[in-house]
Every structure is written in C-alpha cells, then in structure tokens.
Amino acid sequence: MNISIQGLNKIYPNGYQALTDVNLEISEGMFGLLGPNGAGKSSLMRILVTLMKPSSGQVFVNGKDASKNRDYVRSMLGYLPQDFSFFSNLRTHEFLDYAARLAGMNSRRKRSQAVDHMLEEVGLFDVRSRKAGKLSGGMKRRLGIAQALINEPKIIIVDEPTTGLDPEERIRFRNLLARLSSQDVIIILSTHIVADISSTCEHMALLNRGQVAFTGSPEELIRQAQNHVWSIYVTEKEYVEVNQKYQVVATVMMNDGWKVTVVGDEVEGYEAEPIAPNLEHAYVYFVEHTMKNSHSYQS
C-alpha cells in the first residue's frame, strides 16, 4: 500500500487557496497529519477520499491515478469525517448493517458477522438495539469509527478523531487504531492535537496555511526545534514584556518570579537557557516560525 501526493493545489471558487504545492509519500502504518485549524487538513482529506477534485496535481494510490480510478480507491477506503452524520432512527446494529451494504458486502451472513465483530471491537455490543440517535456523544463517535472500518478498509482516513471524546475514550480509540495499523493498512490521522500524533504515529506531516511545513518522524520534528526553545526566569514586570515579544509555551510561578518557556530563534536581553523541546514546543516553533512570508490568498 502506498499513497503518493504530487503537486496538489486547491483553490476554492471564492479564490481562497487552501492547498499549495502539497507533496507527500505515505506508506503502511500510522501517518499523522498535524496542523492548526484552517491549515487545509480537511481539504486534503476530501481530495484523498475522492469527494473533491484538486485544482491541479495528482494523488496516486498504489500507482493508480485516484481521479481516474475512483471506484478502486473507494473500494479500499474507510473514512470518518469530522461531522459524521447518520440516521438516528435506525438501531445501532441496523445502521452498521446499512453501512456494510453500502460498502458492497452483499452476503447477509457475512454482514451480520462483521456487524457483531465491529460492535464488540468498539464496545457498542451492549447497546446494539438502541436507536443511534439515543447514543451518548462518545458512543456516536465510536459508531462512526465502526462504520468506517466495517468493510476492512486498506486505507483509513480519520479527521479530528478525538474531539468530543473523554480521556478514556481517546485512549481506547488510539489503541484501536494502533491495533489496526499493525496490519497491512494505511491510517491517516488528521488532527490539531499534538498528543494524538506523538503517542501513535511513526510518520507525520505538518500542514500550515496550506503548505507542508515539515514531513518526517515526530522525533525529527523535535530535533529540528532544538536550540529554539528557551527557559527564562523573569520578574512579574518582565513577564509582560516577554509575553509580548516571544511565543510563550509554558509558565511556572516560582518564589521570586516566573519561569517561562518560550519558542524562538534567539532570546535577547534575558538570561535564557536552551532546553530540550518536546513535540508540542516543536509544533509551535514550526507553526510560528516557518513560512512567515507565505500567504494563501490569490489576488
């Protein structure tokens, strides 16, 4: 399995350029697509799942041009969109059966087995007869996951998985994805939550204002932020100044002032010590300090 994204641009009808020359190679395993809101993640995902056409550029799935082989791509795809909607009047198991039929599973016996298996897998077996509309927020999210996985897809695309999930459900969800990624599948996890990437993804890309600001492993991202994260001791008065001048990522109150962690190329005028960055620091560094001169509006 392999996805190759080449020279992708997306300009919406109103002239807004949401993606600019995106190039990515994605192979088996868990791939994290990280970026702030508005970075273009959903636009990229919608193109990948062939719901939207790029303005230019191509996506190849196992060497096949996705725009010319939509059925091929869709047959191996499981997609959990950000705003997953369903028929709230169907019972949970009926909805999954419906999703399985849509995915082309024609055998009633196989469908029934797949539905029971998925219900167990996402922990909804006990509420299988409840109307989907009556499930809790977390349960609805899990139903979304179940419908995306019912046809054993080879490419799983998950948009913002953890919004609306409590910590326990997030962990359960991550474990489910990690288990799947040990098989012969590509999982693309699109999120603005750094912690979701660090604990699960070997490979990642950072998308910022429609452009790929970084691609590699989370460890490489951290390495590239080395010597750009600083610890400074300041008085209360200085703190206001520092906050205006630098990107503050953490503040700790001490006996005689404040200890702040800031991200930046250099710190002048204060006694600053470089500290070892974590993924969150590295993310802030890249989002704030790369591509300062880029702009996404087409005139």
Residues that bind ligand ADP (CB under 6 A): 12, 14, 16, 18, 35, 37-43
- Our CB check for ligand ADP shows the closer of 19 and 232 to be 19
- Output the smallest distance, CB 101 to ligand ADP, in A: 30
- Distance, CA of 161 to chain centre: 7
Contact 33, 190 (CB under 8 A): yes
- Our CB check for ligand ADP shows the closer of 90 and 193 to be 193
Burial (CB < 10 A; 0-12, 13-18, 19+), residue 150, is buried
- Output the smallest distance, CB 281 to ligand ADP, in A: 21
* Residue 128 tokens, joined: 């299988």
- Output the smallest distance, CB 134 to ligand ADP, in A: 29
- Output the smallest distance, CB 81 to ligand ADP, in A: 11
- Our CB check for ligand ADP shows the closer of 190 and 198 to be 190
- Output the smallest distance, CB 40 to ligand ADP, in A: 4
- Output the smallest distance, CB 42 to ligand ADP, in A: 3
- Output the smallest distance, CB 286 to ligand ADP, in A: 15
Which residue carries 């969800």 as its tokens?
173
Bridge partners of residue 8, in order along the sequence: 22
- Our CB check for ligand ADP shows the closer of 81 and 123 to be 81
Cα distances from 56 to residues 19, 20, 138, in angstroms, run 10, 10, 38
- Our CB check for ligand ADP shows the closer of 43 and 147 to be 43
Residue 75: how many other CB atoms lie within 10 Å:
13
Contact 32, 218 (CB under 8 A): yes
Residues 54 and 247: their CA atoms lie apart, in Å, by 34
- Our CB check for ligand ADP shows the closer of 41 and 142 to be 41
- Output the smallest distance, CB 47 to ligand ADP, in A: 10
- Our CB check for ligand ADP shows the closer of 43 and 50 to be 43
- Our CB check for ligand ADP shows the closer of 42 and 261 to be 42
